[in-house]
Amino acid sequence: MALPRSRFLLIFLVHILAHICRSPATSLNSTFLFNRFSPSDLNLSDSATVTRTGALSLTNGHLATNPGIKGHAFYPAILQFKKPPGAKKTKSFSTCFVFEIVSQFPESGGHGFAFVLAPATNFSQATGGSYLGLFNGENNGNPANHVFAVEFDTVQQEKMNDKDGNHVGIDVNGANSSFSKPATYYTEFGKKEKVVLDSQTSIQAWIEYDGQGKQLNVTIAPLSHPLKPNRSLISYSIDLSPVLLEHMYVGFSAGIQKLESKHYILAWRFPMDGNAPELDLSRLPSIPRDRTPLWKSFKLFLFISAALVALLFLIFKVGISYLTKRKRKLTSEKIEGWEMDYPHRLPYKKIYRATKGFKEELGKGGFGSVYKGVLPRSRIEVAVKKVSHCSKQGMREFVAEVSILRRMRHRNLVQLHGWCRRGEDLLLVYEFMQNGSLDSHLFGTKGSRLSWEQRFKILKGIALGLLYLHEEWEQVVVHRDVKASNVLLDGDLNGRLGDFGLARLYDHGTNPKTTHVVGSLGYMAPELSRTSKSTTSSD
């Protein structure tokens, strides 16, 4: 039974509509103009996005979280590049756009971007970096790609036939440039000027293809030079008929791998076989600048690091200078006239080194502290008594001890190796007594170690020392402070009398003069409080 004519027409229209829906959308209008973008204006893929201000960002993201970034933005409708259908000759076209590249490091960007004519918009198998998000290692250079691109590259790679790291190149079916030139423009006076593609300044580009004459012209200029230069950067003879299919998509692609770069398209116009209105440069969108560009952050980091290093170096130098001056001050000595009369004066620096900066303290008393040391050259062990300015022993007692001990030599007297005065500190350098003072053995933890035989030996030694002081030396020396803490014991437990700060001298055969009562309570002779005369008997 024959179908009604109306039903037959309905089925025929459904088939036609289905066929149309399966076919790619072809733009009836092959001319368009964008002074700023909205997401609905373009077919965006991968990392491409439109900023709030209306700028197209091709490489949006960070390599730290997304290694190998690529982005694509195409005009959503496919355009007819050959007419009539089936013809081999490619139509003429031209385009103009404004772009800006912000690199992590100026003049050392993370690859550039490309203006692209392609039969499809799916580049999921492509890689970033030198392949610009359009190709990969396997299909690079394959004639079946039918891709034409003009690259604006910021990295030099010899394998891609790049002239330098700041160039414009012509790519056919691959990222290997058929022809390229360093990025420059000509002023109105014909002077050639360099254009740094990743200088973070807006740059305008013009790409024009003459299908009849098979000639491609590429021109660039900074936005500060708004008029198109009269002379093109690239004038290249090429027949795009074997490359371009009848229907092609037009757009942009970018990809980065090692160094980060941001690629922005601010405005774009594309007329086919005709002229489109000029771009309104006064309406260009701004790119995001709320954060400091990466290269500026790194530059700031380098500046701050250099400043910190310089500051630390300055602090180090000031510190070294301060410590040197302090050390010199510590070891400096101002010698007064009276000191020239007493030999065996040791340099403070020598004593300081011998005691390793007064580190090993042997004991402390009312006069100050005693430190162990070793004289540098002779390697003799010594005990250094450091008398502070606030001690009970003053300058008079110090001079008395130096004047007495420097002239006496006896096996039962502590030998004085030398002395020193630095500022208000008075230093006496004695022979080191391995077993310390007698009171530490009698009243300290060592009390049980001394036998009666040893005690008698010590008493005998002190008696011999007093005999030498009272009768055998050229003058009578009254010690005036004989007590257990002033008796020192050598390695063989021989008693040595020390601390002559309170000693008095007078000639043999004369009587001692009346003086202030001095000495240690509990050790002084009872008659001293009545006579105020220190004699050999009171010792």
Which of these, 262, 269, 268, lies nearest to 287 by C-alpha position? 262
Burial 37-71 (b: 16+ CB within 10 A, else e): beeebbbbbbbbbbbeebbbbbbbbebeeeeebbb
* CA pair distance 219, 242, nearest whole angstrom: 24
82 is in an annotated binding site: no
* CA pair distance 527, 538, nearest whole angstrom: 8
Q: Which residue has the tokens 């007419």?
A: 83
Tokens for 364, please give them.
């402390």
Q: Which residue has the tokens 């007297």?
A: 413
Three-point CA angle 469, 470, 472, nearest 5°:
70
Backbone phi and psi for residue 302, each to the nearest 5 degrees, phi listed first = -65, -40
Tokens for 453, please give them.
């035989």
Measure Cα distances from 191 to 203, 462, 506, 510, 525 in Å: 18, 107, 108, 115, 113
* CA pair distance 263, 155, nearest whole angstrom: 14
Of 171, 481, 499, 539, the active-site residue reads 481
Question: How many CB atoms are located within 10 Å of the residue 504 CB?
Answer: 20
* CA pair distance 249, 77, nearest whole angstrom: 7
290 is catalytic: no
* CA pair distance 381, 375, nearest whole angstrom: 7
Which of these, 418, 395, 422, lies nearest to 332 by C-alpha position? 422
Measure Cα distances from 35 to 142, 270, 280, 284 in Å: 35, 12, 6, 6
Which of these, 135, 161, 136, lies nearest to 149 by C-alpha position? 135
Measure Cα distances from 54 to 42, 101, 114, 449 in Å: 12, 16, 20, 98
Q: What 8-state DSSP symbol labels residue 82?
A: B
* CA pair distance 383, 378, nearest whole angstrom: 14
Cβ contact 248:98 at 8 Å: no
Annotated binding site for ATP: 386
Catalytic (active-site) positions: 481
